[in-house]
A and B are shown apart, each in its own frame.
Chain A
Amino acid sequence: MREINLDNLDDIARGAGILGTGGGGDPYIGKLLAREAIRKYGPVRLVAFDEVPADATVVPVSGMGAPTVLLERVPAGGEEVAALRALEKHIGRAATHIAPIEVGGVNSMLPIACAAEAGLPLVDGDAMGRAFPEAQMVLPGLIGVANTPMALADDKGNSIIVDAVSNHAAERIARAVCVELGCQISSADTVMRGDQLTDGLVPATLTLAERLGAAVREARASHTDPVRAARAMLSGTHLLTGKVVDVSRRTQGGFARGGARIEGIGEDAGRVLELGFQNEHLLATRDGETVATTPDLICVLDTDTGDPVTTEGLRYGLRVSVLAAPCDPRWTTPGGLALAGPRYFGYDVDYLPFRQD
C-alpha cells in the first residue's frame, strides 16, 4: 500500500492525459477535484490487487458524458459518491474498495476524489488500461462480469439504477439517461469481488500513469526528449514525427469520423502518416501501410513538450510525434477485439498485432 497525496496528482494527471490516446477528457478539472478532496479528507490509500481480500466489494466509479460539459458545469465534488451510495443501497452491501474504470483522461482523477471522500482504499488498476468511449468496453466483461447493476447520479441529487440484459444494452440506456440529465453524470458499475481483480482489471495503471507523467516532467526539466521518455515508459514504438498539414472531420454512418495527415520532418522527412480518430486516436497508416490500430494505444504528443494532443486539439501546423504502445493482451483476444477492435469503430481494417521496433 502507498498513499496518493497532493504531490502525486500532477504526475498522475499528466500521464493519464497521455494514456487517454487523444480522448478521455482533460484530467485538469478532475485533478482540481481530487486536490480539493484530499485537502479535506486526507491522502488516499492505493492498494495493489494482492492486497485486496478475496471477498472485498470493489466498485469502479467514473464520470460519463461530455468533458466539454464537465469544463462548464464544474462538479461540486461528491457526485461519484452519490452514485456509489445509490449502488450500495441497491446491492445491499457497502463497497470496501474504489477502482477506476478508465485510467486514460479525467476518469483517472474522479475515483481518487471519490476514494478520499468515501474514506475507502483505491485499487491500483483499471478496466481498460487506456480510454474508450462506451460502457461495455471493459475487460471484466470478458470474464463474465456484468457492468450492471449500474448506478447513475447527477449533480442535482437524481439517481437511477440500470439493470440490463447485456453490457451493450446498459451502455445504450446509460447514454440516454446521461443526455436526459444534462450530458455529464457519475456512474458506479461493474462491481467485482477482490478475487476477480487479477483476471478482470489491468494492474498498476495508476502507478504507470504517475511514472509516465514523472518521466515527461523530468525530461522537460533536464531538456531531454519528453516524447522519447514517454515512449520508453510505455514500451512503445515511434511511428512518425512531423507536422499536421490537414485535419478533416465528418459524420459518417453515425460515427464522428476524423482524419489528420501528418508530414514527417527531420529523420521522418518524406514520410506521411494518416491518423484516423473518433473520440480517441484509433488508426495509424504510414505511407499507405497500416502501422497501428485500436485497441493498441496510439498517442499523439506535442513534439516539444510531450503534452498529449487530443482529437479536438488536432489542428493545422502542430508539430507532433505519434507513437504506438501495446494494449493489455486480453484486448487482442477475439472477445476483446469484438468490443474495441477497428471494425467495431467502423474501419474496414483488421487488428494489426503490435510489433516492437
Chain B
Amino acid sequence: MILGVDVGPTNTDAVLLDGDRAVRAVKVPSLAGDAVGSLAAAVRALPAGPRGRATQLAVGLRVAARAVRERDGLARVGVLRVGGAAADAVRPLFGWPGALRDAVCAGTANVRGGGGLAPRDTTPLDRDAVARFGASLAGRAEAFAVTAVFSPVDGGQEREAAEILRAETGPDTTVLLSSDVGTLDLLARENATVLDAALSVLVARVADELTATLPRLGLAPGAAVLVTRSDGTLMSLEYLRRQPGLSLGSGPACTIRGAGLLAGLRDAVVADIGERRARVGALTGGYPQEAGPGERIGGVPVSLRFPDLITVRADAHRELAEAADRMRPAAGLLPLILVGGGAGGVPGGALTGFDVVRPEHGGVAGAFGAAASPVGGQYDRIVHRGPGRRLDAVRDEVRDLARAGAVRAGADPRRVRTHAEPDLPVPYLPGAVLLRARAVGPPLPL
C-alpha cells in the first residue's frame, strides 16, 4: 500500500493506493505555512486500518516554490565560482532581480581554477583564495554554492573547494556543488546551485520535521518517505536536501502524471482546473513534456527542467481551449484530461476538437501522481567520436551513471530500468555528441 500526498496552497490531498487502484482519497484544508502539519492532517483523515499497511509515503511539499516566490525562508549563500580570469566578464548572480539577490547573497568570489572539455585544459585550483573566501564569510553565510568551470566533466575541484570551505567554516557547513546539477552552461548551472543553497536550510528543516512526524502518522513501521520532483519522478529526503531545486515545478509535474495514470493514458493534453487558475500541460510517454531551455525561476535563468505549462484563468473557457490546442503536440486527435477541483465547472462543449476525459479521483491527481511514480535519475555527457573510439562503451557508462543517479535518489538498485535518449550532436564541434540516459525504478523497500 502506497500513500501519496499533495500539499497545495488551499487544500492538501491524500490518496491510498493498492497496486494502481485508489483505495481511498481525502481532501483537507491546508494549514498556512505548515506543509508538514497539512500533510499530517490529510494522512490522519484516511482510515487507520489501510493506512497502517502503507509502506511508502510520497509527497509533494511545494515549500521550495513558495519560498522562492515569496522570498521567505531563504538562506544567505556564499557564492564561489572557480574559473579565474576566464569566466570573469559575467559576475556571479548577474541578472538576478535585486530583491532576490539581496535576500540570498552573503558574498561572491571568483577564484583561479576550472577545467575544460579535456583533462589537459585544467587550471590548478587557487586553494588559498578559497580559504580566504570561506574565512571572510564564516558565521555570515548559512550555505555555500560552488561552481567550477566544466565541473560536469570533472567535479574534482568543486569537491576540493568544499573541503577547504568546511575547514574554514565548520565541518557541518552546507556546501552544494554545481556538478550535482549537471549540464554545461556555467551561469544557468551556477544560478541553480545558488538557488539550491538558498533553499537548503528551509528544506532541511522541513525534512527534519517530516522525519520526526513520520512515526506518528500510523503508517507501517519504517515506511519509506519520498518527495516529488519536476520531471514527474521521486527522490529521497536526503536527495532533496542536496538538490531542493529539483522539487521546483513538481506540483504540476505530479498532477500531469497522475492525470495520465488515472485516465490510463500515456499521451494526452492535461488541464488542471483550480479555483482561479487553470494549468495546461502535456503528457508524453507517461511523463510531463519538458519546457525548452531558457527556463527561469524567480526571474533567474536556471539549468533545471520544468514541465511545459500554459496558465490561464479558470473561468476563461475559450483561452483554455486555445491553450489545450497549443499544447497538443501533433495535429492528430489527442485526448484532453480534465483534473483538479474546478474540472466539473468546465462544460465539455467548450472544448471542441478534443476527446475530453474526466477520470475518477481527478480532484486528487497530484496526490495520485506522487503515489504512483517511480524514483528517477538522469545523466548526460559530451564525448568525441573518433577513429577507434567506440561509443557503445561510453553509452553504457552514461546509462550506469543515470542508474547511479536513480539509486542515489532512493531507487532499488535491483529494479532500476535505464533507457538511452537519442544522441544530440554538439553544434560546431564535429564528431562531438551529447549522450543522455534516464533511469527509473521503485524505491528501495524496507
Contact = CB atoms under 8 A, between A and B. Distances in A.
Interface string A49-87: 000000000000000011111011111110000000000
B382 A76 contact: no
B292 A73 contact: no
A56 to B, nearest CB: 29
Contact of B85 (A68, A76, A317): A76
A352 B261 CA distance: 49
B331 interface: yes
Contacts of B282: 317
A183 interface: yes
B426 interface: yes
A258 interface: yes
A74 B330 contact: no
Contact of A133 (B87, B330, B428): B428
B284 interface: yes
A41 to B, nearest CB: 13
B424 A317 contact: no
A264 B116 CA distance: 43
A36 interface: yes
Interface stretch (B14-22, B97-105, B184-192): B184-192
Given A243-B329, A243-B331, A69 B117 contact: yes
Contact of B149 (A36, A67, A72, A243): A72
Contacts of A1: none
Given A29-B90, A243-B329, A313-B293, A72 B426 contact: no
Given A73-B114, A317-B284, A269 B331 contact: yes
Interface string A1-42: 000000000000000000000010100010011001000000
- B114, B116, B123, B284 pick with most chain A CB within 10 angstroms: B116
A264 B332 CA distance: 11
A312 B330 contact: no
B428 A263 contact: no
A319 interface: yes
B90 A74 contact: yes
B360 interface: no
B87 A256 contact: no
A311 interface: yes
Contact of A25 (B149, B385, B428): B428
Interface string A302-322: 001000001111011111000
A72 B150 contact: yes
B212 interface: no
B203 to A, nearest CB: 27
A335 interface: no
A110 B430 CA distance: 22
B382 A68 contact: yes
Interface string A219-252: 0000000000000000000000011010011010
Nearest to B330: A245
B428 A23 contact: yes
Contact of A317 (B86, B123, B329): B329
A183 B429 contact: yes
A182 interface: yes
A71 B186 contact: yes
Interface in A287-306: 304
B280 to A, nearest CB: 13
A75 B86 contact: yes
Contact of A32 (B89, B385, B432): B89
A315 B292 contact: yes
Contact of B186 (A72, A264, A265, A304): A72
A148 interface: no
Nearest to B385: A251
Contacts of B86: 73-76, 155-156
A72 B424 contact: no
A68 B153 CA distance: 13
Contacts of A332: none
Contact of A256 (B118, B184, B430): B430
A205 interface: no
A74 B429 contact: no
A279 interface: yes
- B121, B329, B430, B433 pick with most chain A CB within 10 angstroms: B430
Contacts of A310: 427
Contacts, number: 129
A263 B289 CA distance: 19
Contacts of A264: 331
A175 interface: yes
Contacts of A155: 85-86
B292 A25 contact: no
Nearest to B425: A256
B139 interface: no
A58 B83 CA distance: 33
B326 interface: yes
Contact of B329 (A68, A245, A311): A245
A36 B184 CA distance: 23
B184 A72 contact: yes
Contacts of B118: 182
A65 B429 contact: yes
Contacts of A242: 331
Contacts of A251: 385, 425, 433
A310 B424 CA distance: 13
B427 A23 contact: yes
A248 B425 CA distance: 11
Contacts of B87: 73-74, 76
B308 interface: yes
B284 to A, nearest CB: 7
Contacts of A156: 86, 123
A63 to B, nearest CB: 10
Contact of B427 (A68, A73, A265): A68
A243 B424 CA distance: 20
Given A67-B428, A317-B308, A318-B292, A74 B187 contact: yes
A312 B184 contact: no
A279 B427 contact: yes
B150 A245 contact: no
Contacts of B114: 73
B49 interface: no
A141 B338 CA distance: 60
Interface string B220-261: 000000000000000000000000000000000000000000
Interface of B: 83, 85-90, 94, 114, 116-118, 121, 123, 149-150, 184-187, 282, 284, 289, 292-293, 308, 326-331, 382, 385, 422-430, 432-433
Q: Which 8 A-B pairs have the closest CB atoms?
A: A256-B425, A317-B329, A66-B429, A77-B89, A72-B184, A263-B331, A76-B85, A155-B86
30 contacts: A23-B428, A29-B187, A32-B90, A36-B89, A36-B90, A65-B429, A67-B427, A68-B382, A68-B426, A68-B427, A68-B429, A72-B149, A73-B83, A73-B149, A73-B150, A74-B149, A133-B428, A182-B116, A182-B118, A242-B331, A245-B330, A248-B422, A249-B422, A256-B425, A258-B425, A265-B331, A269-B331, A279-B428, A312-B425, A316-B289
Given A74-B149, A75-B89, A133-B428, 13 more contacts: A23-B427, A32-B94, A66-B432, A68-B427, A68-B429, A72-B184, A76-B87, A156-B123, A182-B117, A182-B121, A242-B331, A243-B330, A313-B293
